[in-house]
Chain A
């Protein structure tokens, strides 16, 4: 049962998570952490000295008939100290501190990046994990800095609270009773937190609905349909409907929150602050200093410092709420960092010449899925062989390819390279022995060259990239760009970046295959965005370029399967037929039927008649 994910952490975990952040900062730069926290202490102490304490000193001094000259000197001394020290602190906070914080935050973010590149793909498909991961990634940088600010605030308020309370205690120990009273209000605070949290949780589905409507209006992909039908008013009224639900929730939780909040406010401002005020005034006026009551000067100090105390208490409540928030988020970060990737690294070096890739009784199901996506797959990709993987949508072709790349590990059965389980090889080296073009390939917002190689450039790469682009038939277009092959692709962050059409992008990603000389090549529907002429040229080139390399390619167009040494027809997660194109046509099974159906559309009935 995970009906409601626990949204609140215990005190211990909250503290541990925040300390984890402090530790990360400490590891980044111990001296900085000390100076930073030290500056908060200095600031708080000076604040106390220049406000409440100074007031008391002056009032008591005047009342006891002290020399005004020495008081003036005293005030002037504190004043000059404050100005000088504050300026030093301001310099530190404005100029020295931000770069340090950025460096520390960047280190933490990079730690997450490294882990992100390591965890298995399945993590992206498990929503509960993925959500945590995205939240962690999204906020890591800012949150690190926020944690430090919260500590800064905690120190400041705590010192101020402590110093003022101490002062009150020295004046009259009974006053502490008023200081302790707010602690009793913690119970209401907890109830209020629960109500707030429930309210937020209840609002979420409403917001989700509203967000969906927003998307239908602002996403270009809906724009055409929104303009041609009556869907527009339907969606608008769906948005209006959310208000009634929202209102009901405000009624349900708002009143509760208001009452709980009111009790706390009154407890603090009326009972504590005015109570202490009343007590001090009574002690001064009714008992009088002669009978052991308060001095006028002390009474004045009480009146002003009780206000400071209430301010600090208010702030600390907020401060603790911040720590709670940090902890929740850091929980995600820690969970993510502590996660052990399921794809474990092997220690064998990958042989550069490749070899025979043998798939044995392989079964696979996606996490959380009940049915197997791949069942009992057995075949061998011999060195230098070309295999076409065909079959209808959802037959498991792409999944098989992902397993070959070790993006997933099989549920049972194994894949062996030269008789050695691929798990035993170094994962990075193993994957890099494949040149792969996925159906949903992505351009990165980097230069054309970097996109072709997807690795840092070294000497001699220029020629390599140029040749590869020529082979894939996109060189002329790209070299004609304003910055040639150094042009940045996409407009993700560069307004002058180049947006290529899907067809062009596909050609560019195919250039990767030409540029590398890896022993294995995988092409997952490389021709889907290409027109027939371009497809024809592409395959012609591809066959030339992959001479001697082992190739697996997936295509919907059976016409291209003819080019393969062998064809594997997948059906519903199993290998239905395997053999050369001619063998399979002679067999007159599913492959033959499918091939004829496609051919018929081009060639009319003669095919069927002949067959």
Chain B
């Protein structure tokens, strides 16, 4: 059952006013200029119609040339001034104000994004809306501004022209007024139809775009060549295009009904009716030729202006839908509540009966979906990723979290860092629940090398110091950290040393590091900052066996007094830990030192044997 997609008038008004309010707040000058520009052009448009009305009258009434000259001179002066203003405004003033608005709206969204739970990034629906808000909201704001400016302009101009017509002949004014009313209604209905059409064809366009992407993204290029996937995609494409066409035909008929039969026929009919009416008046002498021509001119102008006015007005409901989405995004409040407690030096971190599930998929916290949206049927998302986990980590300890893929290792880390809050149970830092601390301060206690670490477009030093690098920072700290991360060799080749700009995003001279080198920078981060707790989330995944070996040695060497958590499914990396926690299917199934666990001959022992058995052969040699 398709639901009605009707917006209340009040919400259309509210949403559009909301965005205008935003503009007025961020760039008051833009707002003022928009109104001024609309008024100025409204007056210019009506003035020039009134001037030509007078001129035509003057010509046919046989007034003297001086009078006609005066009208033309005034028109010329008007244009000279008006276009000077116009060009200045649109080419110099307006671009600057727009850009300012663009930046301010983005900064607001970014600050908002920064407060969001990480969980939001995993919820595809939320995430789409976020990216959407990022890309679209300022464009919408600008559209609403421009439309409003034009609207002011058209209202001023068309009401003064109507006024003029009323003084000439009220009957003509009435005929035009009625017909304009009807065209407005036809248009509004036509717009609704077009909205439904878009909605119905949207999934088809998504599919079409997807197929297009498969053909042009290099990710798919190999598969496309080595298989016959090509034939499959072409078939899908043809079927999809056929569906698009079917919708075109279905809605085309409706468009014809409202735009063709409704709007076009109505306005043509009115125009000729007015014309015939005036020709008849010419015949009985109540209207002079000049007056006739002048009136026809005004009728033309009104017809054109009205069409334009309607177009502008019908944009507002469209804007409103988008703005609603944007507002919804801004209203969204993060789940992770800020604590206020100061954070004491690290003694222990304890998990107490912690369970966790990625629940957002089953009950979206964030709602703005199309009416057709159904929440994903993927049951996996609702299930517990971690079940009843309890363990304690004390200062200086080196532990390893091991287990197969999907055992919940990475989720555990995200909980530990308070990027998510547990669904059940609690995490205690020095015996106090971590949600009582300020999350920003709490996170500063933990240095993490993520599996999917990122390098930012800034200097090496800034990257190593996590964005906190200025004159007061000790140069040696950075150098030392890079040395520990085995980056010194590469550093020598960099022209500007630790001030070298990384990536080419900002700077064409920037340095692009290889995957392995980038990882070393990410690792240097944990050495440079005095983190009491260090987490290595499978840091060796991008490394070949030799490099992996070196890294393990270096981590052991430099993290003497610190608390370290290793995460891996390669048991060769983790046997060095004081204590090993083996996870399986979201549960903590075994714990103990490497030797103890081998002794116990459980799952860990089995896994270790499997991984090492292929190497046994070489003992014989």
Contact = CB atoms under 8 A, between A and B. Distances in A.
A106 B207 CA distance: 14
B134 A94 contact: no
Nearest to A395: B544
B467 interface: yes
B168 to A, nearest CB: 16
A79 B610 contact: no
Contacts of B121: 220, 223
A221 B86 CA distance: 45
A231 B223 contact: no
Interface in A250-289: 250-251, 254-255, 257-259, 261-262, 265-266, 269-270, 274, 277-278, 281-282, 284-286
A492 interface: yes
A266 B79 contact: yes
Contact of B60 (A55, A262, A296): A296
Given A491-B124, A585-B621, A226 B256 contact: no
A393 interface: yes
A432 B226 contact: yes
A5 interface: no
A599 B404 contact: no
Contact of B456 (A59, A216, A285): A216
A493 interface: yes
B404 A265 contact: no
Contacts of B404: 531-534
A255 B107 contact: no
A565 B218 CA distance: 33
Interface residues of B, number: 162
Given A239-B103, A455-B231, A95 B377 contact: no
Given A78-B272, A407-B226, 16 more contacts: A75-B272, A75-B275, A83-B272, A121-B218, A222-B456, A231-B458, A232-B114, A236-B111, A278-B69, A297-B289, A300-B290, A393-B516, A597-B549, A601-B552, A602-B572, A602-B608
Contact of A442 (B100, B219, B457, B575): B219
B612 interface: yes
Nearest to A68: B283
B91 interface: yes
Interface string B376-394: 1110000000000000000
Nearest to B107: A236
B221 A226 contact: no
Contacts of B296: 55, 304
Contacts of B96: 246-247, 250
Interface stretch (B11-19, B235-243, B344-352, B558-566): B235-243
B405 A303 contact: no
Given A281-B65, A529-B405, A90 B216 contact: no
A238 interface: yes
Contact of A121 (B75, B221, B241): B221
A142 to B, nearest CB: 11
Interface string A438-475: 10111011100010001110000000000000000000
A558 B546 CA distance: 12
Nearest to A137: B216
Interface stretch (B259-267, B309-317, B430-438): B259-267
A271 B544 CA distance: 76
Contacts of B259: 90, 94
A62 B212 CA distance: 63
User: Which residue, of B122, B210, B236, B289, has the highest number of chain A Cβ atoms within 10 A?
Assistant: B289
Contacts of A492: 206-207, 210
Interface stretch (B150-158, B244-252, B475-483): B244-252
A277 B56 CA distance: 10
B492 interface: no
Given A98-B248, A265-B83, A218 B113 contact: yes
B227 A454 contact: yes
Contacts of B505: 208-209, 212
A487 B109 CA distance: 37
Given A82-B272, A243-B103, A99 B249 contact: yes
A482 interface: yes
A75 B610 contact: no
A299 B293 CA distance: 11
A91 interface: yes
A307 to B, nearest CB: 8
Given A228-B444, A258-B88, A87 B264 contact: yes
Contact of A607 (B264, B453, B569, B618): B618
A23 B80 CA distance: 45
B545 A606 contact: no
B174 to A, nearest CB: 19
A55 B279 contact: no
Given A137-B215, A209-B506, A243 B282 contact: no
B374 interface: yes
A547 interface: no
B124 to A, nearest CB: 6
6 contacts: A82-B272, A217-B110, A224-B448, A225-B450, A454-B232, A602-B575
B207 to A, nearest CB: 4
A146 to B, nearest CB: 16
Nearest to B255: A94
A228 B107 contact: no
Interface in A482-498: 482, 491-496, 498
Interface residues on A, range: 35 or more
Given A103-B245, A266-B80, A556 B210 contact: no
Nearest to B241: A106
Contacts of B617: 562, 581, 585
Contact of A95 (B253, B289, B297): B253
Contact of B453 (A63, A225, A498, A585): A225
A188 interface: no
A474 B23 CA distance: 54
A487 B236 CA distance: 15
B555 interface: no
Given A218-B113, A496-B376, A586-B621, A456 B232 contact: yes
Interface stretch (A109-117, A178-186, A318-326): A109-117
B256 A532 contact: no
Interface string B90-110: 011001100110010011011
B79 A393 contact: no
Given A228-B417, A240-B103, A455 B229 contact: yes
A218 B586 CA distance: 29
A225 B260 contact: no
B531 to A, nearest CB: 10
Interface in A129-154: 130, 133-134, 137-138, 141
Contacts of A440: 219
Nearest to A483: B377
B615 interface: yes
A493 B612 contact: no
B127 interface: yes
B443 interface: yes
Interface in A53-96: 54-55, 58-59, 62-63, 68, 71-72, 75-76, 78-79, 82-83, 86-87, 90-91, 94-96
Contact of B406 (A87, A501, A582): A501
Interface in B172-230: 203, 206-212, 214-216, 218-230
Contacts of A124: 218, 221
A536 B614 CA distance: 10
A309 to B, nearest CB: 15
Nearest to B261: A87
Contact of B52 (A63, A125, A229, A303): A303
Given A270-B79, A531-B404, A258 B91 contact: yes
Contacts of B448: 224, 228
A541 to B, nearest CB: 15
A137 B616 CA distance: 54
A424 interface: no
Contacts of B215: 112-113, 116-117, 137
A564 B234 CA distance: 39
